[in-house]
Amino acid sequence: MAADEGLVLRGVTAGYGRSSVLHGVDIAVRPGRRVAVLGPNGAGKTTTLRAVSGLVAVRSGEIALDGVSLVGLRPDEVVARGVAHVPQGRRVFPDFTVEENLRAAAYSRGGRDVDGDIATVLEAFPRLRDRFGVRAGFLSGGEQQMLAIGRAVVQRPKLVLIDEMSLGLAPILIKELYSRLDVLFSDVPAVIVEQNPSVALEHCSWVYVLSNGQVKATGPASEFSSPERLMQAYAGAVE
Amino acid sequence: MSTFFQAVVTGLMTGGVYALLALSIALIFKTMDAVNFATASMGAFCAFLFFQVGTVLGLGWGAGLAVSALGAVLLGLAVERGIVRPLGGGDLFRLVLATMGLDILLNNGTQLLFGSGVQNINAPLPSGGWDVAGVNVDLARLTILGIAVAGTAVIAVVLRCTNLGVGMRAYAQDPQAAALMGVPARTVSRWTWVISSLLGLIAAVMVASVSVLSVGFLQGTFISAFTAAVLGGLSSLPGAVTGGFVLGVLEALSIAYAPRAVTIVLPVLIILVVLMIRPAGLFGRLSAQRA
Amino acid sequence: MNVLRRLPGKDVVVALLAILLVFGLSGALTGYQVYVVTVVVIFTVIGASHTILFGAAGQPSVGHAALLGAGVYTAVAIGQAGLGMEVELVGGVVVGTLIGVVIGLPSLRIGSLYLAIATLALCVVGQQIYFEWTALTGGGAGVQIPPPTLFGTVYTPLGLLYIALVMMGVCLLFARNLLRGRQGRAWNALRTSPLAASSLGMSLGWQKVAAFGVSGALVGCAGVLYAHAVNYVSPQDFTLDLSIVTLVIAIIGGQRYLWGAALGAIFVEGVPEVLRAAGEFRYVIFGAVFVLIMLFFPEGFAGGIVALWRRWGPGRRPSGPAPVELQPTATLVEAELAQSTTGAGGGGERLSIKDVRVAFGGVTAVDGVTVDIAPGSVVGLVGPNGAGKTTLLNAISGFVPVESGTVAVGEHVLRARRPAQRRALGVGRTFQNLSLHEGLTVLDHLMIGQHAVAGYGPVGQALRLPPFVKGERRMRATALETAEILGLGHLVGERVENLAYGVQKRVDVARAIVARPRILLLDEPAAGLTPDEGDDLVGRVLVHSRHVGATVVLVEHNIELVMRVTDRVVALNFGRVIADDVPDVVRRQDDFVEAYLGS
């Protein structure tokens, strides 16, 4: 495995407790690529990201980032290897202010050297500048999402995982967030999980469609532009 | 009227000790949703170490402090590694029961190691006092209050300003999200127990300095401290500290004005009232209400 | 060998033999030893009270010292009135039950942690009350108790031991009868999964009150015996520490087993006496053993012994439980074919959902949903995450209040009722998180599932009357039959936590259908299963449901599966119905496609 391989998942089986949600998943995210993982609920999209981050036990298979195996590592160790995960539901720290949330993201480098990254984040999301001293629990959904992305920026990652960023947000805001992603993580490989595929398809180069814990279809984003093709991958052949 | 002010002043000074112990209890509860029933006996054990080294062996207070602090750290780490880590993830009730067993073990172990006699310690505290407008302010107790306040301030600084403190506070709000920020659960757990243990040591030494050192001397204080934490809100650190002072004053007022029976059941009555009216305590928040 | 295994009450026989053995040996004991054994016997009864309250019903109590005091002082009062111990015992039981019920009443409102804290308060307050009530208790000085007089005869300490043994036997038999049967299963069910228990018709609050009452009765009886054993008693005795010790006895011995209480009492009360020579060390050992038990043997001595017996004793299995046989394709095809028999079985009700709105915290999860489901039909409920599917199920099954609109089962309009009452109307459901009862077997689950249709009550159960015997037999037969339907026949004796996840899901489904619900709500039955497992499970339950004609609402994410086996598909998005028609029509509908794929 070469040091430039990006993220590779091979035959990953994983689940919570005794349940199995992923039944042999193969995904490759080459450097410079942005990958969309689509599929219906319960397909295992979120579980895939959590397996990479070490939040879910991997029963069999391999997960490696640039040749380094991530299987069996604790979540904070995975972060130390350069993986930033923007979780489903944002999960900002509600009692921390915007500033404290951003600083917390620099934990693994001792909280040092953060000001430059914070400036970058505030430039990309001016709304956060206005709300800099406000407790994150009082932010709107969109602002919390910006903050969550901002935390990932502060982590200076080698790989970004984003889970259902568009949940509960207005289309205009979703478009804006995605275009910011292009700027903030221009040369960082990313895996973007979405249930609602249209915007994701516009900003990603490659697609994996997951259903029932397995990869049902994969290919360049252009291949999946028609609803029929997508529905086919989600729900089985249309008669 | 001077009885009233005397009670308030005395209460504040006792309250300082409660605040420290309540802080210790709340710290554990905030990070792992469990109550450490061995809080008192852990503190007592370390206090005995302090006085054993300082007085009995005659090595002086500095050595006493060093040895007992080391003992508190090691004890906290041992409990975390031996009891909390294996049980923490699963059934919390088992963890709480295990701390109860630990309490029995430590109490009697302390008795065995250091003897069951009652000792009067000549602690290095200033003696004498002032008379301010008819209220007696005892210098020793005032010093204790000062130490308590200082201790609380140190904890506050650690939590607010150090990287570790940020990690601990993040972990207390959302352990998984904290993990995604690179905060290691193990480290947070360890430090929480070490700090808790040190707080217990300080509280125990202070109580022993103004009363007597004997086995179980801290037990009553523990119930009061637990009440203070419930009153202030088990999940709120500032709440626990405030609760400590408030309870101290309430107790002093009760001693001054109420029949003995009431004073004895006071902590328990307060717990009942809090549970019925506002279970989250004065400053706490029930987890469901989080944003 | 098989015959022996099936003998009802063989545990009673063993216990009886043990008691007789102690009886026999007692003659050879010194006065002090008689005292120790009597104390052990008394604390066995108190431990048993925790076996019921904590071991079965899951409610820790640190107030039992106060209850013990109540029993003691009842004996004192009755004794002072010149009556004999037989009246004292009755009085002790009655007073204990009453106080137990009163302590337990808050269960109707508050959760178990807070109730536990309340018992702590009770203990401290109770002790103070005893101190103040000097007329009865003698205050700090205490009171002397005359030797026991039973039916006119005065008894020596040895005689008291015999009486205590008999009373212990009676108490344990009573407790054992309650624990083995519907009541015991109900307590265990509410301890391990209150959610599932209420969906099966159990009233959680009242069950706990009952447990408190029974627990109080046992302690009241023990109190009377205690009074005569120690001869001199003062309020000093009834400390919080004593309460904790009684709870610890049950836990160390193994709170899931009645005989564990005996082991615990022997260890806590008997061993320190024996180890008197060890002096101060005994409590250190005690504390250390307690910590070790919590760490490594949470089921106590009894649990440890049972585990060892299971692993090394006769009848042990080298490997784990056998897997379930899957026939995914066959069962699915059968389920599809069965679509033609809709409603034939007559076992279903119409489910009418009219303009239902459910909101919490400012979010409207279900926004005016109207669906009319014909009896016996199978309807698939689909939609993206957050669409409101589970909330709608929760509203139908009574776990969530409905802000406006109505839900009707047949002719009955459901008002803001507790889930328990839904069961009476024939609504059964499964859970996304399984909500199984850890520590209980598959068969237990199937018996628990029939709680509402058992046909007997606690009294009949305690006295082992005919309705109990008949009811148990009938329920067992139904349970085994249902297990077979879901392929669990060979696993009925397995504890559910040892089973694979896919099998556990089957148990959840089996528990829901065993009492033949008229409306069955399946909440993502195939989630977390391999495709084959999911197909097989859904196929089987649908074939069965079609056969009995139940009405089924199936929430699933596996759209492929839903389209194949349902009569109708209702799609939700943002809490509203966006499609409601036969599968083929819905899958082509624009807003359905849009809901999943975006515009």
Asked whether the predicted pLDDT for residue B290 surpasses 60, the reply is no
Task: Tell me the per-residue pLDDT of C279-315, one tens digit each, with 9 for 90 and over.
Answer: 667 778 888 888 998 888 888 999 989 888 888 877 6
Going from the C-alpha of B35 to that of each of A11, B43, B235, the distances in angstroms are: 43, 15, 11
**Closest C-alpha to A200, from A165, A233, A152:** A165
The structure tokens listed for C195 are 């959610």
**CA of C65, closest CA in chain A: separation in Å?**
40
Average pLDDT of C311-326?
70
**Closest C-alpha to A168, from A186, A142, A143, A194:** A142
Report the distance separating Cα A67 and Cα A159, nearest Å: 13
Burial C378-403 (b: 16+ CB within 10 A, else e): bbbbbbbebbbbbbbbbbbbbbbebe
| CA angle at C45 for the pair C44 and C50, rounded to the nearest 5° | 95
**CA of B116, closest CA in chain A: separation in Å?**
46
pLDDT at B137: 79
Q: What percent of chain B has pLDDT over 70?
A: 92
Average pLDDT of A18-32?
87
**Amino acid identity at C44:** T
**Closest C-alpha to B102, from B18, B173, B193:** B193
Asked whether the predicted pLDDT for residue C423 surpasses 60, the reply is yes
Residues, chain B: 291
Task: Tell me the per-residue pLDDT of C215-250, one tens digit each, with 9 for 90 and over.
Answer: 999 999 999 999 999 989 999 889 888 898 899 899
Q: Which of B98, B105, B269 sits opposite C284 (nearest CB)?
A: B105
Whether C131 sits inside 8 A of B261 (CB atoms) is yes
Query: Residue written as tokens 């204990």?
Result: C96
Report the distance separating Cα A4 and Cα B119, nearest Å: 69
Asked whether the predicted pLDDT for residue B163 surpasses 90, the reply is yes
Least confident of A56-70, A146-160, B222-236, C252-266: B222-236
Whether B291 sits inside 8 A of A80 (CB atoms) is no
Q: Which of A42, A168, A199 sits opposite C524 (nearest CB)?
A: A42
pLDDT at B166: 94
Average pLDDT of A201-217?
88
Chain C residues in contact with A16 (beta carbon < 8 A):
528
pLDDT at A16: 79
Task: Tell me the per-residue pLDDT of C573-596, one tens digit each, with 9 for 90 and over.
Answer: 888 998 899 988 888 887 777 776
* pLDDT, mean over chain A: 89
Average pLDDT of C464-478?
93
Least confident of C111-120, C228-237, C273-282, C507-516: C273-282
Other residues' Cβ atoms within 10 Å of the Cβ of residue C444: 23
**Number of alpha carbons in the 13 Å side-chain half-sphere of residue A122:** 16
Report the distance separating Cα C537 and Cα C518, nearest Å: 19
- B69 burial (CB, 10 Å; 0-12 / 13-18 / 19+) is middle
A33 in helix, strand or coil?
Answer: coil
Average pLDDT of B98-124?
79
Q: How many CB pairs lie under 8 A apart between chains B and C?
A: 83
Report the distance separating Cα C570 and Cα C579, nearest Å: 6
Least confident of B26-40, B66-80, B98-112, B204-218: B204-218
Task: Tell me the per-residue pLDDT of C193-216, one tens digit each, with 9 for 90 and over.
Answer: 999 998 998 988 899 999 999 999
Report the distance separating Cα C70 and Cα C96, nearest Å: 7
Report the distance separating Cα B226 and Cα B219, nearest Å: 11
Give the residue ranges of DSSP H helices in C369-526. 389-396, 419-424, 442-448, 458-462, 466-485, 501-513
Stronger pLDDT, C429 or C359, i.e. the higher one: C429
The structure tokens listed for C427 are 């609504």
Q: By the 8 A CB rule, do C443 and C537 touch?
A: no
Going from the C-alpha of A91 to that of each of A16, B98, B170, B179, the distances in angstroms are: 20, 33, 11, 11
Name the band, by pLDDT with cuts 50, 70 and 90, for residue C7: low
Asked whether the predicted pLDDT for residue C145 surpasses 80, the reply is yes
Report the distance separating Cα A205 and Cα A31, nearest Å: 12
Asked whether the predicted pLDDT for residue C113 surpasses 80, the reply is no
- Residue A16 phi, psi dihedral angles, 5° rounding: -100, 130
Chain A residues in contact with B183 (beta carbon < 8 A):
76, 104, 107
Chain C residues in contact with A21 (beta carbon < 8 A):
528
**Closest C-alpha to C232, from C96, C140, C132, C133:** C140
Tell me if chain B has a CB within 8 Å of the CB of C322. no
Name the band, by pLDDT with cuts 50, 70 and 90, for residue C319: low
Whether C290 sits inside 8 A of B275 (CB atoms) is no
Asked whether the predicted pLDDT for residue B228 surpasses 90, the reply is yes
Tell me if chain C has a CB within 8 Å of the CB of A65. no
**Number of alpha carbons in the 13 Å side-chain half-sphere of residue B31:** 32
Burial B243-279 (b: 16+ CB within 10 A, else e): bbbbbbbbbbbbbeeeeeeebbbbbbbbbbebbeeeb
pLDDT at C3: 42
Q: Which of A95, A105, A110 sits opposite B181 (nearest CB)?
A: A105
Q: How many CB pairs lie under 8 A apart between chains A and C?
A: 73
Q: By the 8 A CB rule, do C435 and C193 touch?
A: yes
Least confident of B133-137, B254-258, C340-344, C500-504: C340-344
- C113 burial (CB, 10 Å; 0-12 / 13-18 / 19+) is middle
pLDDT at C599: 46
Whether C121 sits inside 8 A of B272 (CB atoms) is yes
Name the band, by pLDDT with cuts 50, 70 and 90, for residue C479: very high
**Closest C-alpha to C241, from C77, C98, C123, C416:** C123
Task: Tell me the per-residue pLDDT of A142-184, one tens digit each, with 9 for 90 and over.
Answer: 899 999 999 999 999 999 999 999 887 888 888 899 999 989 9
pLDDT at A56: 92
Average pLDDT of A183-194?
91
The structure tokens listed for B24 are 């210790």
**Closest C-alpha to B229, from B278, B266, B284, B269:** B284
Distance of alpha carbon C317 from its chain centroid, rounded?
A: 28
Q: Which residue of B has its CA nearest to A157?
A: B181
Q: Strand pairing of A190-193 and A159-163?
A: parallel
Q: Which of B83, B111, B112 sits opposite C291 (nearest CB)?
A: B83
Asked whether the predicted pLDDT for residue A18 surpasses 80, the reply is no
Q: By the 8 A CB rule, do B40 and B200 touch?
A: yes
Which B positions 53-112 lie with beta carbon below 8 A of chain C? 82-83, 86-87, 91, 93-95, 97-98, 100-109, 111-112
**ipTM of the predicted assembly exceeds 0.85:** yes
How large is the greatest C-alpha to C-alpha distance in chain B, in angstroms?
A: 58
Tell me if chain B has a CB within 8 Å of the CB of A94. yes
Report the distance separating Cα C136 and Cα C364, nearest Å: 60
**Amino acid identity at C160:** L
The structure tokens listed for C449 are 């599932």
Tell me if chain C has a CB within 8 Å of the CB of B261. yes
User: Among B180, B189, B286, B287, which would you mutate to test the A interface (most chain A Cβ atoms within 10 Å of its Cβ)?
Assistant: B180
Whether B183 sits inside 8 A of A155 (CB atoms) is no
Helical axes C258-265 vs C240-253, angle rounded to 10°: 120
Stronger pLDDT, C561 or C186, i.e. the higher one: C186
Task: Tell me the per-residue pLDDT of C9-44, one tens digit each, with 9 for 90 and over.
Answer: 778 888 888 888 888 888 788 888 889 899 999 999
The structure tokens listed for B12 are 């504040």
Asked whether the predicted pLDDT for residue B289 surpasses 70, the reply is no
Name the band, by pLDDT with cuts 50, 70 and 90, for residue C273: confident
User: Among A70, A77, A95, which would you mutate to test the B interface (most chain B Cβ atoms within 10 Å of its Cβ)?
Assistant: A95
pLDDT at B120: 67
